[in-house]
Structure 1
Amino acid sequence: MTTITETPKFAVVFGASGFLGRHVVRALAKRGWRIRAVTRSPGMPMHLQPIGNMSQIAPFQASVTLPASIERAVEGADLVVNLVGILYESGRATFDGIHHQGAKNVAEAAAKVGAKLVHLSAIGADLASKSDYARTKAEGERAVLGSHPDAVILRPSIVFGPEDQFFNRFADMARFSPALPLIGGGHTRYQPVYVGDVAEAVARAGDGALSSGAVYELGGPEVLSFRELMERMLKVIDRKRLLVSVPWPVAEIQGKVLGLLPKPLLTSDQVELLRSDNVVSSAAEGEGRTLAGMGIEPDSLEAILPSYLWRFRETGQFATKRAFARN
């Protein structure tokens, strides 16, 4: 447990119960921050309870779409962290409502109480993008800096880790399907970044170690195509599957059809996103607005993937079928 020797500062984390949120809460708790874990549902998420000391982490119900609830949530805050985002629209949860208006609401509330603000965006955020996801992410960034000019904005590439929705999803698919799809041939490039490294970047921003008003781009040590990511994943889970190229016109039709599902496997907007590389820009690298520029050495896929994808192997924790046979 963390030993607290002085009155701790107070952080409010929106989206605390999500995949990244729990790691951010852990990183802040280790530094001795008192944390208000903001979620849409009442009560403390069970997985957050053992992270900190007694009473160090407290639950709070609020929504980024409801300004009054945000104002109550940030009362007394020294730091506000906004991690809230969606991958597809559902009901009242729209890209504009969450990524743009929601981000603006949080930024205005943080500025009002004089708190530092760390806002999570995404590599690929672009006001001119044809993707609603990417465009509203950019609109959110603009609104955040307009309301809170000293905010720190973090743009990660694909975030991976034990509870991710990327490698876990395709590894699970590989258990049953003889083939995996490669949209557009699988040539789009990514720079996967470990969730713990993103959480550390958030914590350092909260400590004041990053430049105010700057946009940082977070990527791991390797740039890989979608095909190469699938090959890495299949190697870790010790399965052989066909990798089938899906032409863009076919992918567009699939996106329209699958996008109608309550929890869509693919949407038209995601197909549009897949047309563009998702890697750290040369400008960010040159100006030190990266993990390396923060003094963080990013963890690799090779080091992390086996620690949680082993459960998708036919032999479980055993490395190979042959190893199982020998034992």
Structure 2
Amino acid sequence: MVATNDQTVTVFGGTGFLGRRIVQQLRSRGFSVRIASRHPDHGYTLPGADDPHLQSVEANIHDERSVADALAGAYGVVNAVSLYIERGAETFHSVHVEAARRVAVHAHGAGVKRLVHISGIGSDAASQSRYIRKRGEGERVVRAAFAGATLIRPAVMFGPDDAFLVAILKLLRQLPLYPMFGRGETRLQPAYVDDVADAIGRIMQRTETPGIFEFGGPRVYSYEELLRAVARQAGLAPRLLPVPFAAWHALAWASEMLRLPFLTRNQVELMQIDTVSSPDMPGFAELGISPHSVEVILQKMLPNSGG
């Protein structure tokens, strides 16, 4: 571990899929880290959890005082809070716009030097998809409140404990026919979650960085190509069944009536849109990172993936 430089970085959402890896990357670079989450005792056990330079604090991003307290004395902040299913007061607007603005405003007011805001490829304030629109609005309000903020737009992220490849593997094994979204033509560029966290660690170390990064993996797949690549690594030969998006929307509408929906219309909308990094935007290459492929990581995942 690098010698601690006494600079503290607050990570909102530091117990999540990406957030906990960001915490590890920041510590490995010598930053003191303050993990700000609503339930700090319900999170995970981080290697070196007895590390005096690693602190967990209770913080609610919907509460002004809570956010201000979590940022007091911090050198940097990473907002890795995200929401994929709306429930009650937890909406895309409250999390991706209002809370994002709150973090940025208080970071600026506290004299924080570096703000990294996690968004997503395709974020667009003019999108018809509410999720994508609110992601875009969130970027806009963050830049308005903290002019030097760095926006991070990852493609769909994967890793050993994800909700993406693990779910695909499970269904490929269980279903005699695998229902595809549409004709499987949507283009995806999955990014390994540890690569994204590594990139954020490098960005926090630098004094000057571009304002926006887009992170996609080394290969662009159609959805069908991705399914077949995953199946091939697992030694499976699936039968893929195209299912029209209209049917998926109907299924998602019915699912949303459940207390814990297994599919939402927002998720279906996302599967209708290509998520590929722009060649005109800075990405992994500008940070000296060679991203890992789905196939390489799957080779490591498969012995522990339930097969």
Same fold by TM-score, threshold 0.5 exceeded? yes
Query: What is the CA-CA distance between 1:264 and the residue it aligns to?
Result: 2.4
Q: What is residue 163 of structure 1 aligned with on the other side?
A: 161
Cα distance change, pair 100–281 in 1 and its aligned pair in 2 (3 A):
same
Query: What is the CA-CA distance between 1:44 and the residue it aligns to?
Result: 6.7
Q: What is residue 300 of structure 1 aligned with on the other side?
A: 293
Query: What is the CA-CA distance between 1:210 and the residue it aligns to?
Result: 4.9
Q: What is residue 36 of structure 1 aligned with on the other side?
A: 34
1:111 aligns with 2:104: no
Specify the code of the residue in structure 2 equivalent to 1:40.
Answer: R
Query: 5 Å matches for 1:38-77?
Result: 38-43=36-41, 45-48=43-46, 50-51=47-48, 54-77=51-74
User: Does the Cα contact within 8 Å between 1:238 and 1:313 map onto a contact in 2?
Assistant: no
Question: How many residues align structurally?
Answer: 306
Query: What is the CA-CA distance between 1:7 and the residue it aligns to?
Result: 4.2
Cα distance change, pair 232–302 in 1 and its aligned pair in 2 (3 A):
same
Cα distance change, pair 243–26 in 1 and its aligned pair in 2 (3 A):
same
Q: What is residue 154 of structure 1 aligned with on the other side?
A: 152
Measure, in 1, the Cα distance between the counterparts of 2:306 and 2:8: 43
Query: 5 Å matches for 1:190-201?
Result: 190-201=188-199
Moved more, 246-255 or 185-194: 246-255
Measure, in 1, the Cα distance between the counterparts of 2:304 and 2:104: 40
Deviations 1:72-127 (A, max 9, x none): 00001001000000111112210000011111011011111121100000001011
User: 5+ unaligned residues in a row in structure 1: which ranges?
Assistant: 315-327
Q: What is residue 174 of structure 2 aligned with on the other side?
A: 176
Measure, in 2, the Cα distance between the counterparts of 1:312 and 1:216: 31
Corresponding residue SS for 1:262: coil
Deviations 1:39-74 (A, max 9, x none): 1114273322x2466212111111211121000000
Measure, in 2, the Cα distance between the counterparts of 1:255 and 1:146: 35
User: Does the Cα contact within 8 Å between 2:195 and 2:292 map onto a contact in 1?
Assistant: yes
Deviations 1:117-148 (A, max 9, x none): 00000001011111111000000000000000
Query: 5 Å matches for 1:240-319?
Result: 240-284=237-281, 289-312=282-305, 314=307
Residue 131 of structure 2: which of 130, 133, 143 is its match? Answer: 133
Cα distance change, pair 296–7 in 1 and its aligned pair in 2 (3 A):
closer
Query: 5 Å matches for 1:185-264?
Result: 185-208=183-206, 210-211=208-209, 214-264=211-261
Query: 5 Å matches for 1:87-106?
Result: 87-106=84-103
Corresponding residue SS for 1:307: helix
Corresponding residue SS for 1:144: helix
Aligned CA RMSD, in angstroms, stands at 1.7
Query: What is the CA-CA distance between 1:240 and the residue it aligns to?
Result: 2.7
Corresponding residue SS for 1:19: coil
Cα distance change, pair 44–177 in 1 and its aligned pair in 2 (3 A):
closer
Measure, in 1, the Cα distance between the counterparts of 2:258 and 2:303: 29
Corresponding residue SS for 2:57: strand
Deviations 1:153-202 (A, max 9, x none): 00000111111110011212233222222111111001111111100111
Measure, in 2, the Cα distance between the counterparts of 1:195 and 1:82: 16
User: Does the Cα contact within 8 Å between 1:100 and 1:140 map onto a contact in 2?
Assistant: yes
User: Does the Cα contact within 8 Å between 1:144 and 1:151 map onto a contact in 2?
Assistant: yes
Cα distance change, pair 236–264 in 1 and its aligned pair in 2 (3 A):
farther
Q: What is residue 323 of structure 1 aligned with on the other side?
A: none
Cα distance change, pair 312–240 in 1 and its aligned pair in 2 (3 A):
farther
User: Does the Cα contact within 8 Å between 2:153 and 2:214 map onto a contact in 1?
Assistant: yes
**Which TM-score applies when normalising by structure 1?**
0.89
Moved more, 129-138 or 264-273: 264-273
